[in-house]
Structure 1
């Protein structure tokens, strides 16, 4: 069982989604995909874990009967961390127990744990230039990295350095990840064929999408989606997580998108 929730309005600028996941009588293989942000995982009865920014899929075997509460942050937002984000890329690390973990452990139920997390969650200050860069790197904004740096009055090397510090990955890697997340959002919305979705998400063609999907997930698009374009193979409803992509994509398709020069 997997249920996603939207964060409370006060945290909407930092958190993309929260969820509760319950594993049944058999272990479950979880395929974590790159999202552009970090995640906090709170296994009920276990130690909290941080999933750093991913550049490729990471497999994890969740034990039977596990109940887990999770948080996914927007790119550039994160809780206070013990080391720089670029040192946590593709890492899944145990965190020391703290006030938040103790509050989750004593919450009494996963639903109450979600409420407790949102009431106590500390979030570090976000770099406003990186926030603007993330907005312009969404798949509905065709933009070259040099043009983006110039728009932000930064050199390409300055933009790269600030993005590594705030997000953990380079602007180009983040753009690739956000474009793929846009494809997944449109696929779950049932918005067309894979070729059509590839074009809508900003890929040159379906072959371009297939190469990027293999690079990021280790699977072809159809294998990842379970042979259809209506839902992911796991059968989970990710509508809360994909809402920012769907809202922007359909709005921009209606109104047209002013883009920076490639």
Structure 2
């Protein structure tokens, strides 16, 4: 069996907290995986193993998953997974650590007793839905304003949120692990990946312009900084859409819906509107 990866939307109780959930299975060989910065933390629960947290990433995290391994995973929205960490998010930047304490016991048990990976994933989500995963409301609003379709200026955010710049930065670091500017850069890159997944545009220049990069060279530099490789190396021969063979629509649907809403509000049409609308219905 070859490596498989199946994403889906979270259960309704986790809407606004979790971006996507998934089940991953490796085949007869070890699988090298490149975890990319998303702005949030991830929970990886291997069947028969110890749950692990992938802390906020500022660069790609490379791992090799052993053969014949099944993992159920949860990707949190920025700031939403901080209560699981047990420490401020900025203390676990670019780290992967075993989950500890009662949360680890409960999640590990939910996975161990489940009759199937699908049941294990549901059990993990039910546990999370019963926890006090309440993100900092200021940071939640900050994240909303930093989404790539908003084109928000960092300098004005503190005033708009009635905080000093140092207060805003401190709260952002505690909840997401990075400052507002770094978070904005990560979310902008995630926006590029979302549009690539949707098949928008005729090349990198279209995607760069839509996601707020100065040009496709700027996008390429950011891709190398965040992932360690160029867009073409990351996505395959056609760097304006994902050629990895996995369906990431559940993960990127919130980004595409945001662009779609902006276009509706502006009464605009065109290729992106059609792509975003079509992907959002899938």
Shift of 1:231: 4.1
The answer as to 2:147 corresponding to 1:138 is: yes
Aligned-partner SS, 1:65: coil
Which residue of structure 1 aligns with residue 278 of structure 2? none
The answer as to 2:248 corresponding to 1:246 is: no
Rounded Cα–Cα distance in structure 2 between residues aligned with 1:15 and 1:90: 20
The answer as to 2:76 corresponding to 1:73 is: yes
The answer as to 2:119 corresponding to 1:112 is: yes
Closer, same or farther: CA 256–10 of 1 in aligned 2, 3 Å: same
Rounded Cα–Cα distance in structure 1 between residues aligned with 2:120 and 2:260: 34
Alignment of structure 1 residues 1-262 onto 2, 5 Å: 1-78=4-81, 79-96=83-100, 97-121=104-128, 122-192=131-201, 193-229=203-239, 231-256=241-266
Alpha carbons 1:199, 1:205 under 8 Å: kept? yes
RMSD of equivalent CA atoms: 1.4
Runs of 4+ in structure 1 over 4 Å off: none
Aligned-partner SS, 2:229: coil
Rounded Cα–Cα distance in structure 2 between residues aligned with 1:102 and 1:129: 34
Instruction: Encode CA deviations 1:120-139: one digit per residue, 9 max, x unaligned.
Output: 11243211111110000000
Instruction: Encode CA deviations 1:29-85: one digit per residue, 9 max, x unaligned.
Output: 100000000000000001110000000001100011000000000001014323211
Extract unaligned runs of 5+ from structure 2: 268-282
Rounded Cα–Cα distance in structure 2 between residues aligned with 1:80 and 1:24: 30
TM-score (norm 2): 0.88
Rounded Cα–Cα distance in structure 2 between residues aligned with 1:254 and 1:190: 19
Instruction: Encode CA deviations 1:188-236: one digit per residue, 9 max, x unaligned.
Output: 1000111101111111111110110010001111111111146435321
Shift of 1:170: 0.5
Rounded Cα–Cα distance in structure 2 between residues aligned with 1:233 and 1:42: 26
Alpha carbons 1:17, 1:240 under 8 Å: kept? yes
Aligned-partner SS, 2:150: coil
Extract unaligned runs of 5+ from structure 1: 258-262
Closer, same or farther: CA 213–42 of 1 in aligned 2, 3 Å: same
Shift of 1:92: 0.6
Q: Larger helix proportion, structure 1 or 2?
A: 2
